[in-house]
């Protein structure tokens, strides 16, 4: 399997490099707007600590919303099911930064992966302690899961989003007005921007994702029930209003970020990280989504058989 997979990934990388339609980088975060969209990397972590890669699999990128999977894992560890009193678990069917459904739902965000929902989970993590400590918990989770200490926050990206993240500021204030933010908006926002600015390579992210994929070689950090819950949310809500299309084409739980990363989970079989910074109209990696679809078809890993 690893040999066939390595060949497939090499061919896929070569094919993608010849393409012209890389999509657009996220330009609302100035530090991300400077990145060349024509880049691609993929890493597949398999049982038995094997890892197969192609392209720029060692290059670090801003994981952005992929961090929301791990902040949710930390919150589930801290307060368990109580989090669902503050945030729902339904697909939103709207843009990642939409304020509309927040109004309709009385300030309880539809799910923990849209921005409003992630602000609530981060708010929970920072309650009763300093932002530094909440961030240390997310970083520690990632470092232990990936078995790699070299996972850090890109301060320039965090600063860039802090200076221009007007929509997130609006969402945090709106949540506060509904009584669904325990901390001052600037405290929760600062923590959230830094969490999104964590940078990782595909290899590191695929290794961290092993705990969600439930690979036996992964450090045991999540109960099977928690992993199942997180996978269900990734399948339903991991690609914002493009989640249905992604499930239809790929058939695997996944979470995207506007840095162009995708964490893709084949439960019990593999944890995959893909990075290509050009985005499609939903704010999901254009070539990353394409590569995920090709990989799922090649391996037969779709959870729908």
- Which residue ranges make up the site for ligand GLU (CB under 6 A)? 64-65, 96-97, 115, 161, 168, 196, 257-258, 283
Q: Which of 25, 44, 62, 65 is an active site residue?
A: 65
Residue 98, helix vs strand vs coil: coil
Which is nearer to ligand GLU, 53 or 168 (by Cβ)? 168
Q: CB-based burial of residue 255 (10 Å sphere; 0-12 exposed, 13-18 middle, 19+ buried)? A: buried
CB 253, CB 238: distance < 8 Å: yes
**In the complex, minimum distance from the CB of residue 72 to ligand GLU, in angstroms, rounded to a whole number:** 14
CA-based nearest residue to 200, from 78, 61, 85: 61
Which is nearer to ligand GLU, 6 or 170 (by Cβ)? 170
Which is nearer to ligand GLU, 261 or 267 (by Cβ)? 261
Q: Which residues of 60-71 are buried (b: 16+ CB within 10 A; e: fewer)?
A: bbbbbbbbbbbb
Residue 41, helix vs strand vs coil: strand
Give catalytic status of residue 177 as yes or no: no
Q: Which of 44, 75, 87, 258 is an active site residue?
A: 258
Q: Which of 44, 101, 192, 289 is an active site residue?
A: 192
The sheet carrying 152-153 orders its strands as: 61-62, 198-200, 152-153
Give catalytic status of residue 65 as yes or no: yes
**In the complex, minimum distance from the CB of residue 296 to ligand GLU, in angstroms, rounded to a whole number:** 22
**In the complex, minimum distance from the CB of residue 304 to ligand GLU, in angstroms, rounded to a whole number:** 25
Q: CB-based burial of residue 10 (10 Å sphere; 0-12 exposed, 13-18 middle, 19+ buried)? A: middle
**In the complex, minimum distance from the CB of residue 265 to ligand GLU, in angstroms, rounded to a whole number:** 18
Give catalytic status of residue 68 as yes or no: yes
Residue 19 contacts by C-beta under 8 Å, 6 or more apart in sequence? 287
133 vs 118: CA distance, rounded Å: 17
Joined together, the tokens standing for residue 291 give 């590569």
**In the complex, minimum distance from the CB of residue 172 to ligand GLU, in angstroms, rounded to a whole number:** 10
Give catalytic status of residue 166 as yes or no: no
Q: Which of 67, 68, 157, 289 is an active site residue?
A: 68
Q: Tell me the backbone φ, ψ of residue 238, rounded to 5 degrees.
A: -70, -15
Which is nearer to ligand GLU, 27 or 150 (by Cβ)? 27
Which is nearer to ligand GLU, 171 or 291 (by Cβ)? 171
- Report, as residue numbers or ranges, the catalytic residues: 65, 68, 192, 240, 258
């Amino acid at each position: 399997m690893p040999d066939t997979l390595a060949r497939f990934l090499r061919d896929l990388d070569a094919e993608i490099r010849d393409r012209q339609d890389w999509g657009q980088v996220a330009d609302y975060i100035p530090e991300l707007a400077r990145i060349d969209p024509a880049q691609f990397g993929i890493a597949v972590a398999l049982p038995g600590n094997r890892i197969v890669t192609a392209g720029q699999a060692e290059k670090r990128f801003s994981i952005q919303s992929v961090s929301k999977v791990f902040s949710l894992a930390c919150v589930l560890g801290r307060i368990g099911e109580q989090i669902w009193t503050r945030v729902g678990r339904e697909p939103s069917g709207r843009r990642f930064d939409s304020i509309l459904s927040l109004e309709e739902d009385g300030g309880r965000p539809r799910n923990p992966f849209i921005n409003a929902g992630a602000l609530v989970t981060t708010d929970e993590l920072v309650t009763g302690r300093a932002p530094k400590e909440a961030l240390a918990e997310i970083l520690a989770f990632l470092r232990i899961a990936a078995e790699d200490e070299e996972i850090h926050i890109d301060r320039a990206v965090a600063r860039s989003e802090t200076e221009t993240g007007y929509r997130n500021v609006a969402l945090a204030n709106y949540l506060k007005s509904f009584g669904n933010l325990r901390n001052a908006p600037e405290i929760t926002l600062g923590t959230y921007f830094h969490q999104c600015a964590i940078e990782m390579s595909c290899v590191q992210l695929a290794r961290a994702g092993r705990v969600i994929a439930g690979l036996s070689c992964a450090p045991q950090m999540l109960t099977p029930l928690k992993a199942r819950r997180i996978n269900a949310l990734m399948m339903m809500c991991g690609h914002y209003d493009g989640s249905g299309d992604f499930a239809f084409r790929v058939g695997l739980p996944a979470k995207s970020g506007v840095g162009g990363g995708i964490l893709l989970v084949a439960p019990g079989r593999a944890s995959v990280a893909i990075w290509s910074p050009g985005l499609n109209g939903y704010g999901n990696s254009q070539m990353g989504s394409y590569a995920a679809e090709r990989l799922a078809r090649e391996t037969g890993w779709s959870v729908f058989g």
